[in-house]
Structure 1
Amino acid sequence: MNEKFSTKIVKVNSTKNHQYIKAAVEFLKQGIPIAFPTETVYGLGASAFDQAAIERIFKIKGRPQDNPLIVHVANQEMVSIVAQINPQAEKLMEVFWPGPLTLILPKKEGLAPSVSAGLDSVGVRMPNHPIALNLIEAFGQALAAPSANISGKPSPTQAQHVWADLQGKVPLILDGGATEQGVESTVLDLSKDQPAILRPGVITFEMLSSYLPDLEEAEARLRDEEAPLSPGMKYRHYAPQAQINLYWGEENQVCSLMAQHLDQAQAQDKKTAVIITSFPCQLEGDLNFNVYSANTDQMLAATAKHLFEYFRLADNLGIDLILLQGVIEKDLGRALMNRMRKAAKERYIFE
């Protein structure tokens, strides 16, 4: 399974009969994974029923075998083939699909075993992206698709990010431009009596709790030795090669400590990047990103859209240290701090 491909990036519109969607379908029929855009990040897809193709995904990514994949569908009929749908799920599909919400449901027979990593449940979502939906419809089967990157690296929000990680490993990357959301889907476990968010995302706790009054956040439920119920729960994720220091707390405290660490790094001739989100600290590294806004919602949306892009730019420029401001942990900020904590090597968080 050490195939070497001459990888093509091709610009695609949303038409189901587009020549490159047809080409992608031919690869999928042969059990060869391809990369495609969604509204969250780019995915690496193969038939959810083809075990050999799913094994290729794990090999291409270097993904741990106990880390389950999310199944992407184009309609509810496809969901009913792979999972048991309960009334809670039906309501949430009606409200939030297509969109960045993955529902973990009891699985049905027939899925490739590695999709669910030995669990009796499976994560399913309907992406809100015309290329993804038309690809799945044209193929006629649900696609299992993790993010189209090397495991542990920042998720790809542009086709070039996929190329940087998977060039030579996949034959085709469907280029739909930069993704709209920039962070992975919310993962909601409906397979047990107590509904729980296993991975926060753009569909927030606040949005879901109005439909699920007993909703809990359950990342703490998992101990490291247990099998993860959802992608993103167990392993270090989203990290660039550069070291990330994460800072969150009172503004003066954060700005002062960031300035101190920046001075120390520059004195050691380290290449630095500064990412300003919540506080307008006056700091200047070799690379500087500023998404600060007095409007918190605008700042959170901009941070979500660009965070992984900034991580990859820092790596491209050989940055040694990224000084990253955190964000308030409410609404979309829950998802962002989840990703930031997982990516950071050092965390300076003052509650």
Structure 2
Amino acid sequence: MFNLKNTICWSNNDLNIKENQSILKETILQGNLVIFPTETVYGIGANGLNPEASKRIYQAKGRPSDNPLILHIADRNDLYKYVRYVSEDAEKLMDAFWPGPLTMVFEKNELVPKETSGGLETVAIRFPKDKTAQQVIKLAGVPIAAPSANISGKPSSTKFEHVLEDFNGRVDIIIDGGPSEIGLESTVIDMTGDIPTILRPGYVTKKMVEKVLKYTVQDVSGTKPTGQVKSPGMKYTHYKPKGEVLLIRGSIEKMAAYVCEQKIKLEGHKIAVICESEYQELFNVNVVPLGSKDNQLQMAHNLFSSLRDMDKESVEYIYIHYLNKDELGYALMNRLEKAAGYQILDL
């Protein structure tokens, strides 16, 4: 344990100390902020039943207040305390994917304040698999509202150093759980309509959901929504480094030639490439390899760290190879397209 600018920093092992458990519970019940690891990304959490606590999350992140938070629970039975109705299909998805990286949207009841739900009559709920996340929720004794622990618009945090960079002195407690296992935020699926609808892609893919439900579900995660949204990660600019980001779709050889031309054109500026590790030798500029093109989990694990590295190196122009959108690649490209502001160059 150590203190930085009035923020207490713990390892996950520090949660086994009774005195720390009491401090954590009191901190959350007083409406203050705790950052903790999950298997997807780090979350910035507060008492999800306390309107003022939820407001503090929005303030700390610089997040628009109509962008809903996700309510985290550590016992499946707690779901029924906060929602009006749970369908048979939702039960099937819980059987298959909870605890884990799947968030479901339900009609909320009066216990969940609108400050937590982004002003909506629905609430997104997840039961994380990460043991430290479960311990935090159980110790608090209340559901934890927790979006990703990053300043709004920046790449999500998958390492302790990321949350320290963004929130040192802005939250009460940060718990270091090491690198996130998955590295992408949870899949979000709306269960309030006649047909389940994927709002944000993640580790749990459309194909995996359909295998459980045995019918075709909708997916609106690739569209640009208008008005209020039921899920984080839909409406606003997300995951963006400070530099200008361009996705390049086409053969890797054509991309390498284009980047070579840009290096000459942009002489004196810092440029870099993010691509699959098999291709890094093709470029004559700084390359941050995502991982093997045959290992989507590795690429997901490294994605947000790669984007944050761009800021660490003060890169001004970032060229990213357009990835295969099969399976988990669809979720990867969802994040990269937002990071690029949908700027795509076809070669």
Q: Do the two structures share a fold, i.e. TM-score over 0.5?
A: yes
Partner residue of 2:216 out of 214, 217, 222:
214
In the alignment, does 2:269 pair up with 1:270?
yes
Residue 177 of structure 1: aligned partner: 178
Amino acid in the other structure paired with 1:40:
T
Q: Structure 1-normalised TM-score?
A: 0.91
Residue 317 of structure 1: aligned partner: 313
Distance (whole Å) between structure 2 residues aligned to residue 222 and residue 192 of structure 1: 19
Distance (whole Å) between structure 2 residues aligned to residue 292 and residue 189 of structure 1: 31
Unmatched runs of 5 consecutive residues or more in structure 2:
none
SS of residue in 1 equivalent to 2:318: strand
Amino acid in the other structure paired with 2:217:
L
- 1:9 Cα deviation from its structure 2 partner: 2.0
- 1:263 Cα deviation from its structure 2 partner: 3.4
In the TM superposition, what whole-angstrom CA distance separates every residue of 1:75-103 from its partner, at most 9, and x where no partner exists?
11211111232111111111101111000
Distance (whole Å) between structure 2 residues aligned to residue 93 and residue 16 of structure 1: 29
Distance 1:327-1:222 versus aligned 2 partners, 3 A rule: closer
- 1:246 Cα deviation from its structure 2 partner: 1.1
- 1:18 Cα deviation from its structure 2 partner: 5.6
Residue 341 of structure 1: aligned partner: 337
Distance 1:254-1:279 versus aligned 2 partners, 3 A rule: farther
The answer on whether the counterparts of 2:160 and 2:177 sit within 8 Å (CA) in structure 1 is yes
Distance 1:242-1:57 versus aligned 2 partners, 3 A rule: same
The answer on whether the counterparts of 1:280 and 1:292 sit within 8 Å (CA) in structure 2 is no
- 1:284 Cα deviation from its structure 2 partner: 3.0
Residue 69 of structure 1: aligned partner: 69
Residue 293 of structure 1: aligned partner: 292
In the alignment, does 2:8 pair up with 1:12?
no
- 1:10 Cα deviation from its structure 2 partner: 1.5
Count of residues in correspondence between the two structures: 341
Distance 1:16-1:191 versus aligned 2 partners, 3 A rule: farther
Distance (whole Å) between structure 1 residues aligned to residue 143 and residue 342 of structure 2: 39
Distance 1:189-1:33 versus aligned 2 partners, 3 A rule: same
Unmatched runs of 5 consecutive residues or more in structure 1:
none
Aligned ranges 1:127-142 → 2 under 5 Å: 127-142=128-143
Distance 1:246-1:54 versus aligned 2 partners, 3 A rule: same
Q: Where does structure 1 differ by over 6 angstroms across 4 or more consecutive aligned residues? A: none
Amino acid in the other structure paired with 1:249:
G
Residue 240 of structure 1: aligned partner: 241
Residue 53 of structure 2: aligned partner: 53
The answer on whether the counterparts of 1:36 and 1:175 sit within 8 Å (CA) in structure 2 is yes
The answer on whether the counterparts of 1:14 and 1:131 sit within 8 Å (CA) in structure 2 is no
Distance (whole Å) between structure 2 residues aligned to residue 54 and residue 119 of structure 1: 14
Amino acid in the other structure paired with 2:13:
N
Distance (whole Å) between structure 2 residues aligned to residue 262 and residue 89 of structure 1: 51
In the TM superposition, what whole-angstrom CA distance separates every residue of 1:271-324 from its partner, at most 9, and x where no partner exists?
122112276151132x32124535x2x1x2122111111221221221111111
- Percent of pairs identical after alignment? 36
SS of residue in 2 equivalent to 1:210: helix
Aligned ranges 1:252-263 → 2 under 5 Å: 252-263=253-264
Amino acid in the other structure paired with 2:79:
V
Residue 151 of structure 1: aligned partner: 152
Q: Structure 2-normalised TM-score?
A: 0.92
SS of residue in 2 equivalent to 1:169: coil
Distance 1:323-1:262 versus aligned 2 partners, 3 A rule: farther
In the TM superposition, what whole-angstrom CA distance separates every residue of 1:141-171 from its partner, at most 9, and x where no partner exists?
1101001111001100111111111111102
Residue 37 of structure 2: aligned partner: 37
The answer on whether the counterparts of 2:205 and 2:327 sit within 8 Å (CA) in structure 1 is yes
